[in-house]
Structure 1
Amino acid sequence: MDFAYTVAGFVVGAIVGLTGVGGGSLMTPLLVLMFGIHPSVAVGTDLLYAALTKAGGTLAHSLKGTIDWTITRRLASGSIPSALITLWTVHTYAPGGIEGATSVISVALGGALVLTAAAILLRSKIQAFSRRVMGDTPNPNRVRNLTIITGVVLGALVSISSVGAGALGVTALFFLYPGLPTVRIVGSDIAHAVPLTAVAGLGHMALGTVDWLLLGSLLIGSLPGIWLGSHVSTRVPDRVLRPILATTLVLVGAKLITH
Structure 2
Amino acid sequence: MEWILLVVIGLIAGTLGSLMGLGGGIVVVPALMMLSGYVSILAGITPQVAVGTSLLIMIFTGLSSTIAYLKQKIVDYISGAIFLTGSIPGALFGVYLNKGIDVSSFLIYFGLFIIIISFILMIRGYLKPIKVGKKAIKREYINDLGETAQYGFSPWIAIPIAFVVGMLSGLFGIGGGSLMVPAMILLFGFPPHMAVATSMFMIFFSAISSSISHIALGNVDWFYAMALIPGAWIGGKLGAVISQRLKSDTLVMMLRIFLIVIGARLVWQGFTVV
Question: Normalised by the size of structure 2, how large is the TM-score?
Answer: 0.82
Classify the secondary structure of the residue corresponding to 1:236.
coil
- For the Cα contact (< 8 Å) 2:7–2:231, is it kept in 1? yes
Alpha-carbon distance in structure 1 between the residues aligned to 2:107 and 2:25: 11
Residue type of the partner of 2:11? F
Residues 51 and 75 of structure 1: CA distance in aligned 2, closer, same or farther (over 3 Å): same
Q: Provide the aligned length of Structure 1 versus Structure 2.
A: 246
Residues 106 and 145 of structure 1: CA distance in aligned 2, closer, same or farther (over 3 Å): farther
Q: Which residue of 2 aligns with 1:166?
A: 177
User: Cα deviation per residue 1:107-157 (whole Å; 9 max; x = unaligned)?
Assistant: 334223223223323332123xx3xxx337686166222111112112222
1:148 paired with 2:159, answer: yes
Most deviating of 43-52 and 152-161: 152-161
- For the Cα contact (< 8 Å) 1:102–1:160, is it kept in 2? no
Alpha-carbon RMSD across the aligned residues, in angstroms, is 2.2
- For the Cα contact (< 8 Å) 2:10–2:228, is it kept in 1? yes
2:131 is matched with which residue: 132, 135, 160? 135
Classify the secondary structure of the residue corresponding to 1:25.
helix
Structure 1's unaligned 5+ residue stretches are: 91-96
Q: Which residue of 1 aligns with 2:227?
A: 217
Classify the secondary structure of the residue corresponding to 2:25.
coil
**1:25-44 counterparts in 2 under 5 A?**
25-35=26-36, 36=42, 37-44=45-52
- For the Cα contact (< 8 Å) 1:21–1:245, is it kept in 2? no
- For the Cα contact (< 8 Å) 1:119–1:126, is it kept in 2? no
Alpha-carbon distance in structure 2 between the residues aligned to 1:145 and 1:102: 35
Q: Which residue of 1 aligns with 2:191?
A: 181
Alpha-carbon distance in structure 2 between the residues aligned to 1:146 and 1:109: 25
- For the Cα contact (< 8 Å) 2:52–2:219, is it kept in 1? yes
More helix per residue:
1
Residue type of the partner of 1:20? G
More strand per residue:
2
Residue type of the partner of 1:221? G
User: Cα deviation per residue 1:74-125 (whole Å; 9 max; x = unaligned)?
Assistant: 22101112323444x54xxxxxx61427754553342232232233233321
Residues 103 and 188 of structure 1: CA distance in aligned 2, closer, same or farther (over 3 Å): farther
| 1:27 shift after superposition | 0.9
1:157 paired with 2:157, answer: no
Residue type of the partner of 1:117? S
- For the Cα contact (< 8 Å) 2:63–2:201, is it kept in 1? yes
- For the Cα contact (< 8 Å) 1:67–1:191, is it kept in 2? yes
Most deviating of 107-116 and 159-168: 107-116
Residues 160 and 135 of structure 1: CA distance in aligned 2, closer, same or farther (over 3 Å): closer
